[in-house]
Structure 1
């Protein structure tokens, strides 16, 4: 069992930002069954140590034409800019965010991947995402199996949901509306 998350917000949190969802590696949904929204590493996120963080997020559709972009693996990805998001899917949801190098996949560049804790009906590449990073769960780890990685991600989600129920964290939900 992991140590409980601190129930008091302290520096450098909260980190509240808005960014565009970009191409990732396509592993979150297809390999892990845990879809992620990749975002550019801002200077505030880059200052954080590699690890798993938690908070709230909200998707914002962007009025843009449908685009198709090529991922680094050559796979084509449809950027619908969130045009298919339902009203419910633009609400504020809890999230966990991985910031780091994903050693299981041997990444050489620091990335930020947001797992919004909600089941979406369609992709939303190119939409905007507003997020509030409120705290830290654990350091980035390497894994010997994909199953162990998935198990830890699910533990991260449980810990984030428990922490976000507290009034200390829950008060930040309205700051990203």
Structure 2
């Protein structure tokens, strides 16, 4: 199986780790990726290794409340994310980008409430009760764990982008997720446009891997 991605992305190639959160090195151009024989190769970007099936410590199956974040994913990038608390199993992972499956669980027993986001803006917690049935299915996801060096975050965060278009927010709902593998370490970028292109490339890679039977079958673990 080969999938070609003809994206050209300028990145400040930084591998972000717990011990060394900011370590700038190169500024390469990233222009083509292919999935072939268990590897995703992109020039000047860390290689993604695809195993025949998830390898330890995966799968990681958790359920978390969706909390407020910075609001940048949707407003600035057009790629909305659900922020979740970093539980122990996630905190023990290498920082970077991961993939898997996810599902939203509304809480119909809770009424709408208003809370202040980190940036001071008020947001409505509707606990997922505005979602319709087709938005409560199991969807592929990509997850970011780390400091997001492009925005120079001071606090480690975990964010999930559910690969589906939703008509409303779902702050305060529960999100059940299963993490199945790792795509790459965190990187920094020369422009916001480059960041968006790279996230979209991560999404393409995740969807390609999750279409493999040994990864797709984990959807069943999120069924009611």
1:106, CA displacement in angstroms? 0.6
Q: Is the 8 A contact 1:5 1:163 kept in 2?
A: no
1:4, CA displacement in angstroms? 5.0
1:41 aligned to 2:41? Answer: no
1:147 aligned to 2:193? Answer: yes
Structure 2 match to 1:102: 148
Structure 2 match to 1:89: 135
Q: Which consecutive residues of structure 2, in runs of 5 or more, have no partner in the other structure?
A: 1-32, 34-41
Structure 1 match to 2:112: 66
Structure 2 match to 1:27: 72
Match of 1:122 among 168, 192, 197: 168
More strand, by proportion? 2
Equivalent-residue separation in structure 1 for 2:48 and 2:73 (angstroms): 26
Equivalent-residue separation in structure 1 for 2:181 and 2:107 (angstroms): 28
TM-score using structure 2 length: 0.77
1:48, CA displacement in angstroms? 0.8
Equivalent-residue separation in structure 1 for 2:99 and 2:76 (angstroms): 22
Q: Which consecutive residues of structure 1, in runs of 5 or more, have no partner in the other structure?
A: none
Q: Is the 8 A contact 2:48 2:184 kept in 1?
A: no
Equivalent-residue separation in structure 1 for 2:119 and 2:69 (angstroms): 10
Equivalent-residue separation in structure 1 for 2:48 and 2:123 (angstroms): 38
RMSD between aligned residues:
0.9
Q: Is the 8 A contact 2:48 2:182 kept in 1?
A: no
Q: Which has the larger radius of gyration?
A: 2
Q: 1:4 to 1:104 in 2, by over 3 A?
A: closer
1:97, CA displacement in angstroms? 0.3
Count how many residue pairs are aligned between Structure 1 and Structure 2. Answer: 177
Structure with greater contact order relative to length (CA < 8 Å, sep ≥ 6): 1
Structure 2 match to 1:76: 122
